[in-house]
Amino acid sequence: MPIVLESIVRWAVLAAYFSVLLMMSVYGAHRWYLLFLHRRHRDQAPRPVTIFDELPTLTVQLPLYNEMYVAERLIDAVCNLDYPREKLEIQVLDDSADETLDIARRAVARKRAAGFDIVHRHRAVRTGYKAGALEEGLRLGRGDLVAIFDADFVPPPDFAARLVHHFTDPEVGMVQARWGHLNREHSALTRVQSMFLDGHFMIEHTARNRSGRFFNFNGTAGIWRRRCIEDAGGWQHDTLTEDLDLSYRAQMKGWKFVFDRDEVAPAELPLEMTAFKCQQHRWAKGSIQTARKLLPRILRSSMPARVKTEATFHLTANFGYLLMVLLTLLVVPAVWLRREISPWWIAAVDLPLFAFASVSVAWFYAAAQREVSGTFRGIGRWIPFLMAVGIGLSVNNTRAVLEALRGRPSEFRRTPKYNLGEGDSVAARRYRGRASGDIWIEAALGVYLTLAVVGAALTGLWAAVPFLMLFQVGFLYTVGTTLLQSRRVPAHP
């Protein structure tokens, strides 16, 4: 290669590499800022201004779609809520096309015979998916307040009685509880998922809500004021995250939201990599769809700059996965092109950026686990694995981001739940997912990074080996787990 051309390629690669790293460090710096806000406002827990003399009527909506293993568990848990029966209405909004229909109907009939105001509503056509079911149920419900639980949740008996009193403030439009985890210890994958979610709730939600920024209803384990939903334009299904969309529209209308992190509703985490990736794809795509829909309106509004800035970081956070894929492709040539430079000089330039981009991730989730468990003990060994799994998701979530940017529609695909008992096996369950075409890209990146690790070791670039191995493990774990789980039995539709 001519010297001039080689020089151009070198500087083009390094410019792209540092540009990506700089953009990632900006999002990393924002994560540090959330930690600052959390620390500053952590003790400012929301409290009801008073309590109701007479509890308001509560409609509980249970959207279902092919949930044969958990439908009855959910119905039983909701009927165990410690709330006056004459004030409690339960809607089973069932779009199922399998045995779930009969299971839910029998459970509803049993509860009606026991004196509960509970109905089973079935839609043969899933117009609007979950958002459509919720909207239809809202039109038919009688409650001033509306609680929503997805099929994998098991709300505690005191859930509603503890949260409804926040609505004594007429400006409060929604109250969100924290998610717990029924199967946190099932596997390494569920352990990492619980850490991701704990970071979202314990740090992000706390920091945003208590500092006066917008935060979002998470689709379940929360209570809405009916008038707030209607005032904000109702449930809409032009994004895959109807909960995020409605949350921002409601807060833009001036409604106050409350995050009560002391109230915990436990739920089942996805057990398989394919299910986890499906869930993450839906959330990533939906957030970018919501950003396209609402962010221009937010930025043109008269809302405070702190609200606009946080909304921008929140709604565009999944661009980080696109940056991660670019960094994966660029990091090897960037290291190789500087192989003749002293490692100390490379460290002096790269490490400050890496500190913002990656150390912030480690501390963010470590701090969340400290909030949950009360100690840092045992957290350190999980953080590198958590970061590797996040990297392994980057191809899956990058596809979601690109689909949203292109305006490509897709079906709302729910996450399978299994309600495993002692001795039960996932392999014997229905609803098992199939590996997508992404797996071949992930496998190629895993091989690419394995060769890079070997090459770095052979040429003495030891400083690059741990960083490259983090990427390598992330992609190979994603591929290996997907293949292992997918080959056990043929997946059911």
Same domain, 348 and 396: yes
Residue-range definition of the domain harbouring residue 304:
58-313
Average pLDDT over residues 329-341: 79
Residue 243 falls in the annotated catalytic set: yes
Domain C-terminal end among 293, 313, 333: 313
> 356 in a domain, yes or no?
yes
Q: Is the pLDDT of residue 81 over 80?
A: yes
> 53 in a domain, yes or no?
no
Q: Is the pLDDT of residue 440 over 70?
A: yes
- DSSP E strand boundaries for 368-457: none
Average pLDDT over residues 221-244: 97
Kindly name the residue from 150, 152, 198, 243 that is annotated as catalytic.
243
Average pLDDT over residues 254-273: 96
> 492 in a domain, yes or no?
no
pLDDT recorded at residue 156: 97
> 493 in a domain, yes or no?
no
CA distance 196 to 390: 9
Same domain, 373 and 420: yes
Kindly name the residue from 95, 152, 198, 260 that is annotated as catalytic.
95
Scan for tokens 């400006």, then name that residue: 171
Tokens describing residue 484: 């292992």
3-state secondary structure of 266: strand
Average pLDDT over residues 454-465: 80
What CATH number does the domain containing 66 carry? 3.90.550.10
Same domain, 107 and 191: yes
Binning pLDDT at 50, 70 and 90, where does residue 488 land?
A: low
Q: Is the pLDDT of residue 432 over 90?
A: no
Binning pLDDT at 50, 70 and 90, where does residue 489 land?
A: very low
CA distance 76 to 111: 8
Same domain, 278 and 326: no
Binning pLDDT at 50, 70 and 90, where does residue 457 land?
A: confident
> 159 in a domain, yes or no?
yes
CA distance 89 to 145: 10
Closest CA to 121 of 52, 65, 202, 37: 65
> 33 in a domain, yes or no?
yes
Same domain, 297 and 323: no
Average pLDDT over residues 302-312: 97
Same domain, 34 and 169: no
> 296 in a domain, yes or no?
yes
107 within 8 A of 76, measured Cβ to Cβ: yes
241 within 8 A of 73, measured Cβ to Cβ: no
pLDDT recorded at residue 11: 85
Binning pLDDT at 50, 70 and 90, where does residue 220 land?
A: very high
Tens-digit pLDDT profile for residues 6-53: 678 888 988 999 899 999 999 999 999 999 999 999 999 999 989 999
Q: Mention every residue, 6+ apart, whose C-beta is less than 8 A from residue 193.
A: 181, 269, 270, 276
Closest CA to 19 of 284, 334, 359: 334
Same domain, 386 and 284: no
389 within 8 A of 321, measured Cβ to Cβ: no
Of 236-240, 432-436, 485-489, least confident by mean pLDDT is 485-489
How much of the chain exceeds pLDDT 90, in percent? 76
Same domain, 22 and 171: no
> 45 in a domain, yes or no?
no
CA distance 199 to 351: 24
CA distance 292 to 230: 22
Q: Is the pLDDT of residue 344 over 60?
A: no
Same domain, 302 and 352: no
Same domain, 245 and 302: yes
CA distance 177 to 135: 22
Tokens describing residue 244: 């995020």
Strand partners, 470: none
pLDDT recorded at residue 466: 84
Same domain, 451 and 331: yes
Q: Mention every residue, 6+ apart, whose C-beta is less than 8 A from residue 80.
A: 157
Domain C-terminal end among 259, 291, 313: 313
Domain C-terminal end among 270, 290, 313: 313
Q: What is the dihedral of CA 331, 335, 336, 339, to 10 degrees?
A: 180
How much of the chain exceeds pLDDT 70, in percent? 93
Q: What is the mean pLDDT of the chain?
A: 91
CA distance 235 to 233: 7
Same domain, 229 and 269: yes
Give the count of domains, the chain.
2
pLDDT recorded at residue 456: 81
CA distance 20 to 161: 48
